[in-house]
Copies of this chain bind each other. A is one copy, B any other.
Amino acid sequence: MRIESLDVYYLSMPEILDIGDGSQDALLVRLQAGGHIGWGECEASPLTAIAALVCPMSHSACKPVRESVLGQRLDGVKDIQRIGNLVRENSLDLLQADHMLSGIDSAMWDLLGRRLDEPAYRLLGYERAHPKTPYASVLFGDTPQETLDKARGIRERGFRAAKFGWGPYGKGTVEADRDQVHAAREGLGKEGILLVDAGTVWVDDLAAAQLRLPALEECRATWLEEPFVSGALDAYKRLAGMCRTVRLAGGEGSHNYYMAQHMVDHAGIGYLQIDAGRIGGISVAKRAADYARAHGVTFVNHTFTSHLALSASLQPYAGAEEGALCEYPVELKPVAWAITREHLLPDADGLLRLPEAPGLGVTPALEGLRRYLVDVEIRAKGELLYRTPAF
């Protein structure tokens, strides 16, 4: 079969808040081939990704992403790899292309899975999908009291693990950060797995990050996530050398396989966090997961948006051992919740299972999404390059 159509849909809350919550908008990708439909989702700026999809060619290595996808044969897993390589070659100098490709790649796995009547993880080579331990992923409260209340709520909902991130953490004093981490630990109780996400707040300032380690170790945090921006491998490595019990986690900023590999090779991390909506899709995330495993680093999904993106980000390490951690956003904005008809909910044991259904196992709930659909129109060189299509 050939890819006959490639449509993208920008969805957004009516109002976007200036907070670290990536669930406020989304870019959905719909592929059609041979009577089948596949869906995927891209991080992060929908309008910019659309521009990467439809822009005029600048030169032979800077072509619009759709040119490498539309009309291509899609008969098996190798075609997904081939199309990804085409995009990377033809859009080498188009920086945003990796993010746009991510949604397309996920949609290809969804479509192929539906055609072959197999879950995506089986097409990836996993016999079965082992259930994961979801960690409730939330923003720090504005105050330690708010964080305490959030942590208690998470524990009451049955989560064994929780991650607190962004918000005020790292922006004020060391003491204020200590109070936040202690509040989170108190709320989760002694047994809860506590994870802390600094959201790159120290950029590459080793000293600032080092000052936060004692509180994290007092509170038995399992990991400190993104003390630095993704590329700051040296700072990561040096901070890792200063940790006694806490491990470092990072990698969500990776937008290609090599960046993930560099984190594993040179950053001293214990956990590699990959967003299938950024790294180039499920295909690239799977390569990163295999590389991490082979090098003794634990792979974890990064997901802070819909359950379509969640399913896509879980497929690449579906075969990891039972009970491995997975990120599970629990403060989704209505648009992100509304994206899928089905939702991935923890079972009675508090474990999260991938759907035993073809492709990604979830389907967009189009009717409910209409009110979030953003009207976009892009014209250049006398042509209408993009207008929001009908669902």
Binding site for B on A (CB under 8 A): 10, 12, 16-22, 24-25, 43-48, 50-52, 54-62, 85, 88-89, 92-96, 98-99, 166, 199-200, 203-204, 229-234, 253, 255-259, 261-262, 266, 278, 374-382, 385
- For A50, what are the chain B residues with a Cβ–Cβ distance below 8 Å? 51
Complex Cα gap A89–B203 (Å): 9
A24-B59, A253-B92 are known contacts. Are A12 and B381 too (CB-CB below 8 A)? yes
Q: Please, which residue of chain B has its CB at the minimum distance from the CB of A47?
A: B55
A20-B60, A231-B259, A262-B231 are known contacts. Are A96 and B48 too (CB-CB below 8 A)? yes
Evaluate contact between A374 and B381: CB separation under 8 angstroms. Answer: yes
> What 9 new A-B contacts, CB under 8 Å, besides A16-B57, A47-B51, A95-B278?
A16-B58, A25-B58, A45-B95, A47-B55, A47-B380, A88-B229, A95-B96, A262-B266, A377-B378
Q: Please, which residue of chain B has its CB at the minimum distance from the CB of A93?
A: B44
20 contacts between A and B (CB under 8 A): A10-B380, A24-B59, A25-B56, A25-B58, A44-B59, A45-B51, A45-B94, A47-B56, A47-B378, A48-B48, A48-B51, A51-B51, A61-B199, A85-B203, A88-B203, A92-B200, A230-B258, A232-B258, A262-B262, A374-B380
Residue of B16, B59, B256 near A21 (CB, 8 A) is B59
- For A47, what are the chain B residues with a Cβ–Cβ distance below 8 Å? 51, 54-56, 378, 380, 385
Residue of B19, B234, B375 near A59 (CB, 8 A) is B19
Evaluate contact between A379 and B376: CB separation under 8 angstroms. Answer: yes
Complex Cα gap A85–B203 (Å): 9
Q: Please, which residue of chain B has its CB at the minimum distance from the CB of A50?
A: B51
- In the assembled complex, the CB of A374 is this many whole angstroms from the nearest CB of chain B, namely 6
- In the assembled complex, the CB of A344 is this many whole angstroms from the nearest CB of chain B, namely 22
Q: Please, which residue of chain B has its CB at the minimum distance from the CB of A63?
A: B18
Q: Please, which residue of chain B has its CB at the minimum distance from the CB of A57?
A: B16
Complex Cα gap A256–B377 (Å): 31
Residue of B58, B96, B381 near A24 (CB, 8 A) is B58
- For A262, what are the chain B residues with a Cβ–Cβ distance below 8 Å? 231, 233, 262, 266
- For A381, what are the chain B residues with a Cβ–Cβ distance below 8 Å? 12, 374-375
A375-B379, A379-B375, A381-B374 are known contacts. Are A46 and B59 too (CB-CB below 8 A)? no
Residue of B46, B229, B257 near A231 (CB, 8 A) is B257
Complex Cα gap A203–B96 (Å): 19
- For A17, what are the chain B residues with a Cβ–Cβ distance below 8 Å? 59
Evaluate contact between A92 and B229: CB separation under 8 angstroms. Answer: yes
Evaluate contact between A96 and B96: CB separation under 8 angstroms. Answer: yes
- For A45, what are the chain B residues with a Cβ–Cβ distance below 8 Å? 51-52, 55, 58, 62, 93-96
